[in-house]
Amino acid sequence: MDQTLQPSPPALWTAPNLDGEPLSGPWQLLLLGDGSPTRHLQLLTGHAVEVEVAAMAADQQLGAAPQEVQELQAPLLRRQVWLICGGETMAWAESWWNQSQAAQNLKERHQPIWRSLTSNRSELFREVDGLAVVQAPWLQERFQRPGPFWSRHYRFFRQGTTLTVIREVFSPALEGLLGPACAAKNNEFLLNVCGDAAKAA
Q: What is the CATH number of domain 22-181?
A: 3.40.1410.10
Whole-model pTM: value is 0.89
- Distances, alpha carbon 99 to alpha carbons 33, 58, 72, 77, 106, in Å: 28, 8, 10, 5, 10
Q: What is 81-130 written as a DSSP string?
A: EEEEETTEEEEEEEEEEEHHHHHHH-SSTTS-HHHHHTTT----EEEEEE
Give the distance, in angstroms, between the CA of residue 1 and the centroid of all CA atoms in the same chain: 20
DSSP state of 48: P
Burial class (CB in 10 A: 0-12, 13-18, 19+), 61: exposed
CA distance 131 to 142: 21
Amino acid at 107: K
pLDDT at position 18: 84
pLDDT in tens, the chain (201 residues): 457 899 999 999 898 888 877 899 999 999 999 888 999 999 999 999 999 999 999 988 777 899 999 999 999 999 999 999 999 999 999 999 999 999 888 876 666 665 555 555 566 788 999 999 999 999 999 999 988 999 999 999 988 899 999 999 999 999 999 999 987 666 676 666 666 554 444
Domain boundaries, the chain: 22-181
pLDDT at position 99: 95
Q: Which of 77, 39, 74, 67 is nearest to 129 (CA)?
A: 67
Amino acid at 183: A
Burial class (CB in 10 A: 0-12, 13-18, 19+), 145: middle
Q: Are strands 161-170 and 149-158 parallel, antiparallel or unpaired?
A: antiparallel
